Amino acid sequence: MKWEEKNDELVRIFKFKDFNEAFGFMSRVALLCEKANHHPTWTNTWNMVEIHLSTHDAGNKVTHKDRELAKEIDKLIY
């Protein structure tokens, strides 16, 4: 699944081999988010990570910041 724009958010579900891979991915994403000072809403259930991106300062709408962060997140898995 690629990033999908719905309900004023960019959303993507990432599926991994197991919890360790999913958690490792989340750790790498967290470092990106901290560097960008742009933090997602996300969930983790065993081997799946669901990420929702929107810009709170822009009224919880999708902005250039979200699209750029999504591109950087994608680089972590390709």
Angle between helices 19-36 and 64-75 (to 10 degrees): 140
DSSP secondary structure code for residue 1 in this structure:
-
Q: What is the phi/psi pair of residue 24, to 5°?
A: -60, -45
C-alpha 57/C-alpha 44 separation (Å) is 25
Q: What is the pLDDT of residues 39-74, one digit of tens each?
A: 999 999 999 999 999 998 888 899 999 999 999 999
Whole-prediction pTM: 0.93
